[in-house]
A = this chain, B = another copy of it.
Amino acid sequence: MTNVPFQGVIAYPITPFDPAGQVNLGLFKSLVERLVVSGSHGIAPLGSTGVLPYLRDEEKEALTEATIQQVKGRVPVLAGVSNLTTERTIYHAKFAEKAGATAVMIIPMSYWRLTDDEIVAHYDKVAQALSIPIMAYNNPATGGVDMSPALLKRLLRIPNVTMIKESTGDIQRMHYLRRHLGEDVAFFNGSNPLALAAFAAGARGWCTAAPNLIPQLNLDLYHSFQQGDWKAAQDAYYQQFDLLQFIVQKGLPRAIQAGLELQGLNGGELRAPLAQLRPEEKAQLQSILAACC
């Protein structure tokens, strides 16, 4: 398994805005710092959690640079560079590489449903423009494309596509990847409610926004598996189960923003049309946080 610089809990920061609707870079850096010092094994800016598709180019660039400056090499950085067009994906991927990202994450964003050949060509062109490795990200619920295991297998033949992040929420996809692509394929779980089942299936890591709120529980789950103590893993999982369900159900940026406020921190503003959770939803989150931590 060469050129796979991630393992364990990879944390996704939100992108906070100021009341005028601009990215709050200072606050962003402090949120990144919290993720690093609380033990996350990697930092992934500009993911779905970071509302990548809602950002302008210059905002994306500033956030990428801010992450790398703040992390200072303490853990690897996985920068989101997905874009609807191949040309803009290459642009952002090269920017991230030059800025010092360890790897880039790419979801084949779709408005028009892409054919398998179009997706392969998309990754291939981006890969040729880069030296750092690529994590191919499958999430039909947000990206609109569902990449079959057969297609993922094709992508893995591109030299620097070395990692797969699976977020369909179907554990059988991960079993299939492990069984048919071999033990060496580095697949990561991107579906929070599948955290337990995915590690049981052999996932190398967990891509998650949860460390913004409950870093220790996330790490406990991972370390229990590492130590072969699946009973402890099961306990850690059920302790955080309600929170994982809640943040997925409400949408990660909205749920994390509310959770930070409930923990006495500054979560910034959301960018419209995304709106804050309703009061009763915040109350529900508060009781979930109180019960699990």
Contacts and interface: CB of A to CB of B under 8 A. Distances in A.
Interface size bracket, A side: 35 or more
A202 B273 contact: no
Q: Which label, helix, strand, loop or mixed, suits the secondary structure of the A interface?
A: helix
Nearest to A237: B175
Interface in A176-197: 178-179, 193-194, 196-197
Given A54-B84, A54-B111, A234-B202, A273 B122 contact: yes
A253 to B, nearest CB: 7
A271 interface: yes
A54 B85 contact: yes
A18 interface: no
A274 B111 CA distance: 10
Given A114-B273, A273-B108, A175 B200 contact: no
Contacts of A85: 54, 271-273
B142 A112 contact: yes
A275 B117 contact: yes
Contacts of A86: 272-273
Contacts of A54: 84-85, 111
A289 to B, nearest CB: 16
Interface stretch (A92-100, A128-136, A223-231): A223-231
A171 B197 contact: yes
A21 interface: yes
Contacts of A51: 111-112
Nearest to A272: B86
Contact of A171 (B144, B194, B231, B242): B194
Interface of A: 21, 48, 51-54, 84-87, 108, 111-115, 117-119, 121-122, 125, 141-142, 144, 169, 171-172, 175, 178-179, 193-194, 196-197, 200-202, 225, 228-231, 233-234, 237-238, 241-242, 251-254, 271-275, 278
Given A86-B272, A87-B271, A175-B241, 12 more contacts: A87-B272, A113-B141, A114-B273, A119-B273, A122-B272, A125-B272, A171-B197, A172-B194, A178-B238, A179-B242, A200-B233, A202-B234
